[in-house]
Structures are given as structure tokens and as C-alpha cells.
Amino acid sequence: MQMVIVGSVIQATIKMAQSVVAFLQTLIQITIAIIGIAALAIKKVDHDV
């Protein structure tokens, strides 16, 4: 009986870890996009001046 509890706890932990990893990947992608847009904006400003 205890093995079943341990198994379900492990599964829940894995699922939680996967959602955290997915969230972090999304944050990283958003950060990269913001940096890319900022870099383009800076290049445009430099070009205009």
C-alpha cells in the first residue's frame, strides 16, 4: 500500500517539474523575443541618427 502512495507522489512531482520546466522555457522565449526587439529598435535608432 505504501508503494502506491510513493508512486503517486513521484508522479505528481514529475508532473509539477514538467510544468515548471515548460513555464521556464516560455519565459526564456519571451525574454529572447524582447531582447531581439530591443536590439532591432536600437539598430533603427542608430541608423536614423
Which residue in 25, 28, 5 sits closest to 17, CA to CA?
Answer: 25
Q: Coil, strand, or helix at residue 49? A: coil
Q: Tell whether the torsion through CA atoms of 16, 17, 20 and 25 is positive or negative.
A: negative
pLDDT in tens, 17-42: 999 999 999 999 999 999 999 999 99
pLDDT at 3 (0 to 100): 84
Q: Cell triple for residue 4?
A: 502506491
Confidence of residue 44 (pLDDT cuts 50, 70, 90): confident
pTM over 0.95: no
pLDDT at 33 (0 to 100): 98
